[in-house]
Structures are given as structure tokens and as C-alpha cells.
A and B are shown apart, each in its own frame.
Chain A
Amino acid sequence: MTKEAIFTPVGKAAEELATPKKSGKKGDSLYEKAVDLPEPTTAAPAKLGLKKGQLLEMFESMVLQRRFEERAMQMYQKGKFGGFLHLYIGQEAVSTGTTAALKDDDDIITAYRDHGWGLVRGVSARQGMAELFGKATGCSKGKGGSMHFANVEKHFWGGYGIVGGHIPLGGGLAFANKYKGLDRLTTCFMGDGAVDQGALHETMNMAQLWKLPIMFIVENNGYAMGTATRRHSTGELWERALGYGMKHRVVNGMDVLSVYEAMKEMATDVRKDSMPWFVEIRTYRYRGHSMSDPQKYRDKEEMEEFQSLDPIERLKTVLLDKKMATQKAIDAIYEKVEEEVMDAVEFADNSPFPEDSALYEDMYSEPNPVFHR
């Protein structure tokens, strides 16, 4: 029997961990790489049915999500607002490719890393920034903050703060759509950390059993807070589908075209026979879990490797190569986005905080609820 220290990280021999040899060379990391990206799609945009205008819109959306969060981070560090701030930077291809592939009335629900999702689904930069600032003009009237962006009218049901807690809610959204006979599918996004929660498994079981029109989609960014996926979850995440006999797929989340292609195909399939999917989209977050994360659990080299695959740069290259946009046009998009974001910051800064009376509003539906005193 080999002598192995118990509870050591899976994937590397215990002895190797006992004497880490860190030369600083690329690939000499203590742990395995965060995620293995599958090959991106080889299909040209035209073959996917994407026109130049759509691609430019997707590009602008990704730049907006990126710049919005960079400025949000700056405002946080300036002390303009407090609380949590979980950034989506690096993962923008997932939100952008998904919404481009879905119909506008398909339902989306996600966890707390939700700014990008808000921005692609009806939360304006102004409403989003104001929500971060806790202002009355925020998308959730300043009552939710960073973790609770939502625009229910536009079928974005919000960000949720309890890991895995929103997954049954996603199941319920799909249940109601099926109950009412609506041709609407639900996409329930979660981080890799949520895969370990019982809520996912209970919901997957019922979704498969009741043939709910839903896709459970893991945005596997390599880390559950500060713990690498391979250290918190056994096997491959997509293998969870096998136990439920659920359709499944692994997608390259650093390439917006791959996300679009996969989501389009799966959405069509769900609409056809109302059977759920379990999807693992592999991606990478460039920032810490939250604002107070020193990120000692990963290497600079790993970060640089994924940054070299940046989804925004990738789409930019496509646009330039295919002569769909000039460098000048690209620059103009950056400028436009910068203006939009700075306008949002100014708007948020100048917006009023909620009135004191708002404290007691939105707790109950009736006009004059009883509050215990």
C-alpha cells in the first residue's frame, strides 16, 4: 500500500506535494490547470447564421460587460459602495453567446456573479451601476445590490446569493412554463461550486422525471471561491448527467461562437421534446472570487494563459479578419462603451438613495401589511 497523506488534493501524487518543485516555468504548477478547454467551433459565423450586425452587437455587449465591471471595481475601491462585488470578467462569452442564441422570452436565472447577465438581459448600465451604489434608481431599487440584479419583465429572474439555492427555482420556472403550455425554455446557470450541492441533484432528478424544458448550465471557471474544481468535485462535472440519464455537453466558454452554436442546438432540442440538458461550459474568471481575495491559489502563468485566449480579443480578431469591422470601427465601439459606463457612474452617483419609507415596501403584496413590533 502506497503511503499517501490523507485528504491531499486529487490529481497529483502526495509525494510531489510534499516537496513542491516550483521552478516558475510554465506548466510547473502545483496543481493541475483549472479547466481543460474543449476545441472551439470551426464553423464560420455565417454558417452559424450570424450576420455582421449581430456579431458587432455581441462584441459591443462583451466590451460593455467588461468595462462596466472594471469601473465598478474602481468605484468599489474608491469607497462609493460596500458589500460584496463578484466580478464576471473573463466569462462574458457565456452570457453573450447564450442570450444571442435564446429567444427573448426564454427564462434565465443565475447565481451571484450576475452583472454580465443583467447587462445582456434588460438591466441598463445605469440601472446596474445604481444598484451597485444602493440607489433607488437601481434595477432592484437598491434593495438587492451586486448579487441581486434582475429584470423579471425581460425574463431575467435574477442573481441569487445562496450557492445552489436558485437551482430549484429554475426548475420551478420551467415547471410553470410547462404547466401553462408555454413554448419557453429555462436556462439555469450556476458556478462549478454549486455542482456539489444537493439542490442541483434533487432538481435534476425531478426535471428528468417530469421532462421539464430546462438546461442546467455550469459555468466552470475552475474555482469554487478559492478551491480548484479538481479539489472540490470528483470526476468530471458533466458526468453528473449520467446518473440521471440526462443529455449533456461540454462547451468552450472562451469562444462566444462556440457558446452560441451549442446553445442554439440545445435550445432547439429542448423545444422539440422538452427534455432537460446538463451543460458544462468551461471558462475562466480573471478576478478573485470577491474583492478581498488575494488569489494565492493559482499561478500567474495560468492567468496569463487564459488571458491570451480572451473572448473579447478573439471575437475582435474574427471581426477584423473577416473584414466585418475596421480597427476604427472597433475603437469607436470602445469609446461608445466607455461613455456609456462613465455616464452610468455619474447617474449612479447623482441618483438618490431610497427614501426611508422604502424600508417597509416590497416585503408583502398587500397594500398595508402588518409588521410585528
Chain B
Amino acid sequence: MAIKVEMPKLSDTMEEGVLAKWNIQEGDTVSAGDVIADVETDKATMEMEVFDSGTILKLLVDEGDTIPLGGLVAVIGEPGEDISGLVSGGASGESSSSEAATEPETADSASESFDPIFGGIGSGNTTDSSDSSDSTQTTSTTDGRVKASPLAKKVASEKGLDLQTLQGSGPNGRVVIADVEKALAGGAPSQAATSSAAPAAQAGTTSTPEPQTSASTQAPAPVSRPSSGSEKVKVSQMRKVIARRLSESKFTNPHFYVSVDVDMANVVAARGQLNQVSPVKISFNDIILKAAALSLKKHPWVNGSWNETEMTIHHDVHIAFAVAVDEGLLTPVITHTDQKSLMEISAESKELAGLAREKKLQPQQMEGSTFTISNLGMFGIDEFTAIINPPNAAILAVGGIRDEAVVKEGAIVPGKRMKLTLSSDHRIVDGAKAAEYLNELKHMLENPLAMML
């Protein structure tokens, strides 16, 4: 049984070490406790020893190489033993096998490198609301600020007394509780703050409880509205990915938009019938997914990608659909959407949406889409435009189904209508192509039986 020799931690603060000198060669026999190399750490040159006995089968790094903690540097075993499984990949540093050292790394690299669709999934990217320590409060301008003791502020606000109208008697003009009590006791509040020219009115010179009538001719005193401040929230990994990818898409893909109004009466009726027999509940979204997929088969440019030097037409249809989650949105993918039955689509979309909300989506469940659908109908939105999800060529924005009076054969009758808006990348999809696709989709939804063909 071959044994891995890994870069050891030779100081409290060491993170990597330079293999300064090998004291042994491949083929040498070593026993537990032998010093096989000198390693330069952040503090000193230390001896590296082995903890097991055997023959050095392989030295994987050269003198002078820098190796992270836990990085594989050599293999010990029986002569002739097959160690290809241990040393495959060759790159010594990366092939660390100490679970303790590598686990966090893998997690990191997964969320770091993965972002095919709005990426940055799940693990540990939740918005750190606890870290709002650097939140700043917007401060009022100095002219609006009244210096008052905490108690004076509290009592004044409880009694509805405007501190602006009081002259503070404390240090630096601080309004203290005595000033508030004096004002509340009926003494004319010392009119000070706003008209600096006027000296403070004599308190108690008049017993008239009414406000001075002359005051009504003056401009009303500006009311200081205390600011509720603002809050800074740390940008999560997911938000960073959304920000970067959608900005990139919107600013580099020449978007254009075409919309169509679809008569959904037949879909509504068909769905009612389907759900009487289907073991899983079919949603409008499932039907739209299926119809969009079938339409894409007929209009392959819409199912394409732009890559500067070449354009790709995907022969498979994998539709991503946007799922709103707490920190943003995720876009799980239903692969081969065109080949799946409504029941399959329904089951799969429910499962994927559930996983998305629980942050359990795996990266591969969000990869490889060729087209995306975003549906805000359930949020009461009639129509909207969406930003293309790269590297797709188009995205379909689906509004809600509206009850609308429609003119049918000269008569006004109740109708079910839905707005679809397609955002397309003009570099690959021209206006006419977009229109053709949308008309195909409209036709299919208005004649749902066509989907069965």
C-alpha cells in the first residue's frame, strides 16, 4: 500500500513551503523518522521527516519548488508498486490529498469558477446581513441638527414638542430636560433657532395660550425630518455574478425586442382537461416551456450562440427558467425540453425550482442552456423585457394571463390574453427571425393541440 508524503505544516503560520533540498533519491529505503528533505518555511529552514517506512517510489517536486501545505511531494511504498492512481495529474501542488486542507479549496473553486448562468450557487454565498457594521447613517446637515440631551429628545418627541423651537441652556446650547420642561409648563417656547436675528423671547411675558397671530404671516419654520438613514449590505457572491454577467450582456449584446399578444383561451381550457387526468399538476409555465421548445426546433437561429468568430446553432433544446430566490435569481435548466412530455417538464421544473429555493442546485443543473424563459406573470406583471442570459441568443419574457374584453366575430366577449416579449441578440437573430419565432409560438399556444403533433 503506497503512502503519500505531503508538505507538512512546520510552523504555526506556514501556508506553503519551498522544497530546498532532497536528502534522498527515488529508490532509497527510508524508515519512520528519517529526514528526507529540508523545507524553507516562512520562519526558518526545517527538516521534513517521514512517518512511515518503505521505499521512495517517486519524488514529485524539484528542489526550489514551492508547494502548498498538504501538497503531494513524494510517494513511499513497496518497490514495483503501481502508484499511477496516486500521482495522476502530475501537478504536485494541486493534487493535495489532505482532506482538511483541500475541502475548503474545492468549495471555493466551485463557486468561484462556476457561473454559466447567473452562477455562484448555494454554498455560503448568502448575503451577510450581520456584517452591516460598516453601514453608515446619512447625517443631517449641520444647520438642521439640534443639540439636545438624549432625555430631552425622548421627552420632546413623546410630547410632540419641536426641539427646533427651543433654545438650549446647556453647554454649547444643548437642549436639556429643564428646557423641555419649561416649554411644556406653558412658558412661551424660546423662539430662537430659526430667526437668529430675533433675541430669545421673554418667557412667561404673556399668558395667552394661542400662538402669536403675527407668526402666521411668517414663512413656516422649516421642519426637520429626521433621516431614517440607509444601510449597506455586503454583496453576496450570487449578486456579484448577476451584476457582472447581466451588465456584460446588456452592454455588449445589441438587444432588440418584439412583443405579441397571445389568446390563451384554448390553453386555459386544455390545461383544465389535462389536469383532470394528469397525475402531476401541469402549470401554464410548463405549457409555455414545451411550446417554446417546440418552436425553437423550427427556428434554430433563436436557439443559437454568438462567439465573435463563429455562430453556433444548437440542435438540442435546453431551456433555462428563472427562479426567484432570496438573494437574487437562479436559472435551472430543463435539458431536451422539446423531447419531454408535459408531465416530465412539470415534475422536473418543480423539483429544480425547489432545489433552487433551498440553495441545493448543483452547478451542472444550471449549465448548458440554449434559451431562457422568465415569467413574472405570477407577480401580476402584464409585460416586461428581459436581459439575455449569455451565451443564449434570446430570452422570452412572459406576462400574466389577463381577463380582457375582446372583439370576436364582431361581438365583445370575455377573453384570456397574455403578452410575450422576446429579447434577441441582433448579432445572430434579426428582426424577421424573431418575429417568425414569436408567431410560431403564438400559433402553438393558440392551438395547443398542435403540440401533440
A interface list, Cβ under 8 A from B: 70-71, 73-74, 76-80, 82-84, 291-292, 294
Contacts and interface: CB of A to CB of B under 8 A. Distances in A.
Say whether chain B's binding surface is mostly helix, strand, loop, or mixed: loop
Contact of B11 (A73, A74, A78, A292): A292
Given A78-B9, A78-B98, A79-B101, 11 more contacts: A77-B9, A79-B9, A79-B98, A79-B100, A83-B12, A291-B11, A291-B12, A292-B12, A292-B44, A294-B45, A294-B47
Interface of B: 6, 8-12, 32-33, 41, 43-47, 51, 69-70, 98, 100-101
A70 B34 CA distance: 12
A83 B98 CA distance: 19
A83 B44 CA distance: 18
A84 B51 CA distance: 20
A78 B12 contact: no
B10 A77 contact: yes
B10 A292 contact: yes
Given A291-B11, A292-B10, A74 B43 contact: no
21 contacts: A70-B33, A71-B51, A74-B8, A77-B8, A77-B9, A78-B70, A78-B100, A79-B9, A79-B98, A79-B100, A79-B101, A80-B100, A82-B12, A83-B12, A84-B12, A292-B10, A292-B46, A294-B43, A294-B45, A294-B46, A294-B47
A82 B9 CA distance: 9
Contact of B8 (A78, A83, A84): A78
Nearest to B46: A294
A229 to B, nearest CB: 23
Contacts of A84: 12
Contacts of A78: 6, 8-9, 70, 98, 100-101
A78 B9 CA distance: 6
A83 B13 CA distance: 10
Contacts of B51: 70-71, 73-74
Nearest to B100: A79
4 closest A-B pairs (Cβ-Cβ)? A77-B8, A292-B11, A294-B44, A74-B51
Contacts of A77: 8-10
Contacts of B6: 78
A111 B414 CA distance: 90
Nearest to A73: B51
Nearest to B33: A70
A79 B13 CA distance: 11
Nearest to B14: A292
A313 B9 CA distance: 29
B103 to A, nearest CB: 11
B165 to A, nearest CB: 39
Contacts of B100: 78-80
Residue from A71, A83, A294 whose CB has the most chain B CB atoms within 10 Å? A294
A226 to B, nearest CB: 11
A295 to B, nearest CB: 8
Contacts of B45: 294
A73 B49 CA distance: 10
A80 B101 CA distance: 9
A84 B12 CA distance: 8
A73 B35 CA distance: 14
Contacts of A82: 12
B69 A79 contact: yes
Nearest to A290: B12
Nearest to B7: A77
B281 to A, nearest CB: 43
Nearest to B13: A292
A292 B43 contact: yes
B9 A76 contact: yes
A288 B348 CA distance: 61
Nearest to A85: B12
B237 to A, nearest CB: 25
A292 B9 CA distance: 9
B115 to A, nearest CB: 30
Nearest to B6: A78
Nearest to B49: A73
Nearest to A71: B51
Contacts of B9: 76-79, 291
A294 B9 CA distance: 13
Contacts of B44: 292, 294
B10 to A, nearest CB: 7
B80 to A, nearest CB: 25
A83 B11 CA distance: 10
Contact of A291 (B10, B33, B69, B70): B10
Contacts of B41: 292
B4 to A, nearest CB: 10
Of B9, B45, B69, B98, most buried by chain A (CB within 10 Å of CB) is: B9
A83 B9 CA distance: 11
A70 B49 CA distance: 11
